[in-house]
Amino acid sequence: MASTEKVSPRDRLLDAAARLSYRDGVSVGIEALCRAAGVSKRSMYQLFDSKDAMLAASLEQRVPRFEAQLAHPDPESATPRERILYVFERLTAAAADADYHGCPYLAVLVELKDPEHPASTVARGAKEGMAARFRAEAAKGGARDPELLARQLLLIFDGASARAGAGVERLEDGLVTTTVNLLLDAAGMA
């Protein structure tokens, strides 16, 4: 039986911040966020110190889902190469969606430009986490320079994500996975 519990105002605000900031950018107004969440501005300020704090909390809440979407469904049997390629296969699939606007964490970093902004801190942490996972897989797969390979993979991910999100590149033609395979070969990964 489905739960009849209502979603809390905090969760409604975090969901609205996630949806609207992804679609419209982080400059979305407080009125629009509160209206979308069905929460008064007064309640919003009782729950969060500022819109910036709410945006950061919204980004933080989405990190586990973002990571899970990119994680190979059978990590124990997949090789490091397969686990890396899966990330780019998921990116390709996501980019085919009409509502795709790129990586939400990269978008925040580009739009805010303030490294001290609470949302920038969360977004940078998400991207550093992705680089760490690439580095770990590169090391497991025998890459000659796992750090360099992780940086290169993140550059490809972010570039492909940004170009697809801006609507100037379609990823369905295999360009991204072909490029990643060439890079993995050049790095000496099995």
Averaged pLDDT of the chain:
95
Question: What does the pLDDT read at residue 5?
Answer: 62
Tokens of 113: 């430009």
Question: Hey, where are the domains in the chain?
Answer: 9-186
CA nearest to 21, candidates 67, 52, 44, 65? 52
Give CA–CA dist 126/115, Å, rounded.
14
Instruction: Write the pLDDT tens digit of every residue in 1-60.
Output: 444 468 899 999 999 999 999 999 999 999 999 999 999 999 999 999 999 999 999 999
- Contact residues for 98 (Cβ-Cβ < 8 A; gap 6+): none
CATH 1.10.357.10 fits 9-186, yes or no: yes
Mean pLDDT of 144-156: 98
Question: What does the pLDDT read at residue 37?
Answer: 96
Q: Is the dihedral of CA 31, 33, 36, 37 positive or negative?
A: negative
Instruction: Write the pLDDT tens digit of every residue in 83-119.
Output: 999 999 999 999 999 999 999 999 999 999 999 999 9
Question: What does the pLDDT read at residue 30?
Answer: 94
Q: CA geometry: angle at 185 spanning 182 and 189, to 5°?
A: 140
Question: What does the pLDDT read at residue 6?
Answer: 84
CA nearest to 140, candidates 184, 93, 91? 184
Mean pLDDT of 153-174: 95
Mean pLDDT of 147-154: 98
Give CA–CA dist 100/160, Å, rounded.
12
